[in-house]
Structure 1
Amino acid sequence: MSNKQPNILFIMADQMAASALPFYGGKTAKVPHLASLAERGVVFDSAYTNSPLCAPSRYVLMTGQLPTRIGAWDNAADFPADIPTFPYYMREKGYQTALSGKMHFCGPDQLHGFEQRLTTDIYPADYGWFPNWDDPDTRPTWYHNMSSVTDAGKCVRSNQLDFDDEVVFHAERYLYDYARGKQERPFCLTVSMTHPHDPYAITQEYWDRYEHDEIDLPKVRIPEAEQDPHSRRLQDVFAYYDQEITDEDIRNARHAYYGACSYVDDQVGRLLKALKDCNLDEDTIIVFSGDHGDMLGERNLWFKMSYFEGSARVPLIVSAPNRFQPKRVKESVSTMDLLPTFVDWATDGAGTEYAMPIDGRTLTPHVEGKEGGHDEVIGEYCGEGAISPLFMIRRGQYKYVHCAIDPDQLYDLNKDPLELNNLAKDDSYADVVKAFRDEALQRWDSDAITEAVKISQRRRRLIVRAMGEGETNIAWDHQPYFPATEMYMRNHIDLDDLEAKSRYPRVV
């Protein structure tokens, strides 16, 4: 590895299921840029989110901390400003840090260590999207519903297309500006798109990349009476049984989803081209991942919020061919491991003294093909559809899910990748289940965590009510700043100097 600090381009796609992608066995999605990135990179075959919901997954990714350590309960949880994030650690190590796109920060701090935030967020920054464990039988109106599926199809324009087009435009401009600048510090640029997140709508261009008849239907259908309790609660969350869902509805939704995957792939291609055009590709490590997956109708479930593979598993690629040899990594890792990995790259493996203990573990041994890499993911979920914390342990061939109010779940993913056989019901696995359950009971105090969640929800409910009163309500949403007096043609810069400064490569 070079001793020069590498640039880092971290690209995120929202709700992209690993199983949809061809380099993870998917048969339909057309993503040539990502496939090429995987071919020349390190591909993690068993990468997971630690908490399968947008905001908690991102807080964990940003901090290297599990949700219970930082209060990352749900999509309206406050993200405390004094928790160090990977942008803070990278800035301390000499990097310039920037974010273009979604990160779903809730609370008044909308930077969390990023020197620059190039766009606003697609989601609100307030505390309004909170579940209510004090009143679990009342369904909030902001919950997902099945209109994302029943209304799925083609569009000319959408909220999400507006957002992601802006995200990628500003990320490209950031790379051009960096190339035209002094490059005194390496960059750590995060580009976070909202596609292929529902609602499932995409333009004719991307719809037409697929024949409708080639769109696959779910492999597994689980009748209502056979659903596990958490899955049944999730179906209530998105009102699954309030309407008929036909195979054509499902095919339309998956068709649009695959189209959105192709859209994301094209945006990745734009970013890779900008890197190459600016001669930055040789010195940049590219990381591609997601915040969580999407069930896409498997098990009669949609969206995320569970620990089944479609929801919890994410794509993860590290590409830097001049630094790391292409390989596949079979061990289970998580996006929580990215913070210590980024720090390793910034310090050439020397690491750092963390301001507080972190739960993530570096991916460096896996990426470099050395001994000592871990094979474990710990998960915690307290968001929509939960009324008691869900805990997950993924280790070796097993995935174990524990909730104090639900029966245990244990799956051998080597033998049962579709998770059809819950081994917790099999007496021959009683010792394995007991060992996992004992570990869970020792690791987590479910009653204490439940009370912490309820107290947090009550605080936020009060704040939301209070902020709705009065004549002034200053929103926390990020307002991007553009230095207009320094852009394009301005009279305080000589014209020749301005043109020379703005052109890349410069004319000699």
Structure 2
Amino acid sequence: MPTRPLIALVLLLFVSPLVHADEPTQPLNLLIVQTDEHNFRTLGCYRNVMPDEQAFIWGKRAFVETPHIDSIAARGALATSYYATSPVCTPSRASFFSGRYPQNTGSPANDMPLNNDVVTFGKVLQARGYATGYAGKWHLDGSGKPQWQPSRTFGFADNRFMFNRGHWKKFAIVDGQPQVAARNAQDKPTYNLDNADAESFSTDWLTTRAIEFIEQHRDEPFCYHLSLPDPHGPNTVRPPYDEMYRDLPIRPPLTYGNTELPRPGWIGGTRRGDVRFNAALMAKYFGMVRCIDDNVGRLLKKLDDLGLRERTAVVFTADHGDLCFEHGRLNKGNPYEGSARIPMIVYVPGRTPAGLVIEEALGTVDFAPTILSLLDAPAPAGTQGRDASALWTGDAAADWHDITFLRNAGPKPQWVAAVSDRFKLVVSVSDEPWLFDLQTDPDELINQHGRASLETVEQQLAQELLAYGKANQDPHVAEEKINADLKRLAGE
């Protein structure tokens, strides 16, 4: 007859697993780091999947090492053709959080507030029991600047450290309230560095707020969005990052100062209006990126220290790009790759295969339904973006619809675009259509419009744009010249 210890062992081996099998599994946490105006080529994981002439456009030795961001891609997946649905802060963010196209969010242009009826992915997760929070730039509540803690939270319950607008460099907590710590003689907030250090510099300070939230909610599912205002200008950063890349041999991109080929009317201005190349400005931009990467390292270490790495989905992305002197321009607002293409790196424990590279074209409008699906949560009513979760798990069917749509910011139509992983069609009010072959012409110098061998490609993209405009009520597609050009290209 078995002894009591032996009976206990049998019960432990055969009964205990059945009990645990019936216990609910805690949902995965979600941590998002979103930067502002970030050129994807500054990340090592993107350079690794590009030919050298595209990876090192500022020179073979002019690059930033980003080991911590790269480690997220190594564990998870990155997308090589991810686009800001409208490459300006407010409309791109509106699509990112809502899964709707900008014209249907209330925020098709900068400083236009998000409609009250918008349901963000944060709101969905909050309703499912997540602790939710947000720190950093929001830019979806109108013109307030900095406007801490907007009254409409859109599902981000702890938004004490959310501010609406601005690219401030130094923060502090005074009498329990956050404030911009760099002030002028009239006690108004400024963008000055004002001797910001590792405690007060914006990237560090906001990351610390994220770490505090994670520590507080370590035992429950959480969703936290860290929105860093860098590397958007002004191109200033605290020591030692301000001098870290000063001596790099940084040269203009190959597309800078090109006067031999015609260029699109939709870029605006003339070559006389091109910005003057400034290597020192790029060195500070690199410094901002390195500071961001080091703070991503702080976040990942905190997840490891708390045993949360395998319970937390991590996303690194940006709202839009920065041309960084490509085509003689800085910043964003047009459909060139440097402006509209963004980093999108996603690690979901147990879902994303390590090192996966996704080539299909996607947009910020697709983010909300996709991340919710990866977390086994439903997309809200009114979602217009696609659930691309099958791409991120490596299970996508071969017939995935490989086209995303872009539009200029603002109520006045200027251009619309349809993009696949290879081709980009831009139709505007100011020029003939432009068709780029991103495989043979990654610098986007040559207009392939009208080439007989690409007639079918151009026709398909035009048909797709017309169908998108009708399905999603985009007045830009309905604009007289744009619509006429699209119908002609589509064969209607």
For the 8 Å contact 2:275–2:330, the answer to whether it is kept is no
Are 1:19 and 2:50 matched, yes or no?
no
Tell me which residue corresponds to 1:144: none
For the 8 Å contact 1:14–1:291, the answer to whether it is kept is yes
2: CA distance between counterparts of 1:447 and 1:285? 33
Render the CA deviation track for 1:297-330: whole Å, top value 9, x for unaligned. Answer: 0000110101110011111111245543211111
Aligned counterparts, 1:213-228, within 5 A = 213-221=248-256, 222-223=258-259, 226-228=262-264
For the 8 Å contact 2:427–2:434, the answer to whether it is kept is yes
Structure 1 residue 388 displacement after superposition: 2.1
Quick one: which amino acid aligns to residue 301 of structure 1? R
Alignment counterpart, residue 330 of structure 1, candidates 359, 366, 370: 359
Of Structure 1 and Structure 2, the greater helix share is in 1
For the 8 Å contact 1:66–1:379, the answer to whether it is kept is no
Structure 1 residue 246 displacement after superposition: 4.3
> SS in structure 2 opposite 1:16?
coil
Quick one: which amino acid aligns to residue 84 of structure 1? V
Tell me which residue corresponds to 2:268: 232
Structure 1 residue 450 displacement after superposition: 6.0
For the 8 Å contact 2:37–2:318, the answer to whether it is kept is yes
2: CA distance between counterparts of 1:261 and 1:241? 30
2: CA distance between counterparts of 1:228 and 1:114? 41
Aligned counterparts, 1:388-427, within 5 A = 388-427=413-452
Structure 1 residue 120 displacement after superposition: 3.6
Are 1:165 and 2:204 matched, yes or no?
yes
Quick one: which amino acid aligns to residue 46 of structure 2? Y
For the 8 Å contact 2:30–2:314, the answer to whether it is kept is yes
2: CA distance between counterparts of 1:451 and 1:433? 16
2: CA distance between counterparts of 1:76 and 1:15? 16
> Aligned pair in 2 of structure 1 residues 430, 282: CA closer, same or farther (>3 Å)?
closer
Aligned counterparts, 1:11-410, within 5 A = 11-25=33-47, 26-27=55-56, 28-107=63-142, 109-121=151-163, 123=165, 156-157=195-196, 162-179=201-218, 183=219, 185-210=220-245, 212-221=247-256, 222-223=258-259, 226-233=262-269, 241=272, 245-247=275-277, 250-326=278-354, 327-347=356-376, 351-352=377-378, 354-356=380-382, 358-372=383-397, 373-383=400-410, 387-410=412-435
Instruction: Give structure 2 stretches of 5+ with no counterpart.
Output: 1-23, 48-54, 57-62, 143-149, 167-191, 480-492
> Aligned pair in 2 of structure 1 residues 301, 270: CA closer, same or farther (>3 Å)?
same
For the 8 Å contact 1:411–1:421, the answer to whether it is kept is yes
Structure 1 residue 435 displacement after superposition: 3.5
Quick one: which amino acid aligns to residue 165 of structure 1? D
Quick one: which amino acid aligns to residue 402 of structure 2? D
Render the CA deviation track for 1:84-122: whole Å, top value 9, x for unaligned. Answer: 111111122222211111121224754112111131416
Structure 1 residue 394 displacement after superposition: 1.0
Tell me which residue corresponds to 1:433: 458
Quick one: which amino acid aligns to residue 433 of structure 1? E
TM-score of the aligned structures, taking structure 1 as reference length: 0.73
> SS in structure 1 opposite 2:418?
strand
Render the CA deviation track for 1:63-84: whole Å, top value 9, x for unaligned. Answer: 0011122232211222111111
> Aligned pair in 2 of structure 1 residues 168, 218: CA closer, same or farther (>3 Å)?
same
Quick one: which amino acid aligns to residue 268 of structure 2? R
Quick one: which amino acid aligns to residue 338 of structure 2? G
> Aligned pair in 2 of structure 1 residues 154, 448: CA closer, same or farther (>3 Å)?
closer
Moved more, 304-313 or 89-98: 89-98
For the 8 Å contact 1:402–1:408, the answer to whether it is kept is yes
Quick one: which amino acid aligns to residue 208 of structure 2? F
2: CA distance between counterparts of 1:315 and 1:7? 21
2: CA distance between counterparts of 1:441 and 1:165? 45
Quick one: which amino acid aligns to residue 328 of structure 1? V
> Aligned pair in 2 of structure 1 residues 33, 163: CA closer, same or farther (>3 Å)?
same
> SS in structure 2 opposite 1:318?
strand
1: CA distance between counterparts of 2:473 and 2:31? 41
Higher relative contact order (CA 8 A, sep 6+): 1
> Aligned pair in 2 of structure 1 residues 323, 382: CA closer, same or farther (>3 Å)?
closer
Tell me which residue corresponds to 1:501: none
> SS in structure 1 opposite 2:445?
coil
Structure 1 residue 436 displacement after superposition: 2.6
Structure 1 residue 430 displacement after superposition: 3.6
> Aligned pair in 2 of structure 1 residues 304, 313: CA closer, same or farther (>3 Å)?
same
For the 8 Å contact 2:266–2:428, the answer to whether it is kept is no
> Aligned pair in 2 of structure 1 residues 282, 437: CA closer, same or farther (>3 Å)?
closer
Quick one: which amino acid aligns to residue 228 of structure 1? P
Alpha-carbon RMSD: 3.1
TM-score of the aligned structures, taking structure 2 as reference length: 0.75
2: CA distance between counterparts of 1:271 and 1:19? 22
> Aligned pair in 2 of structure 1 residues 290, 447: CA closer, same or farther (>3 Å)?
closer
Quick one: which amino acid aligns to residue 229 of structure 1? G
Structure 1 residue 208 displacement after superposition: 3.2
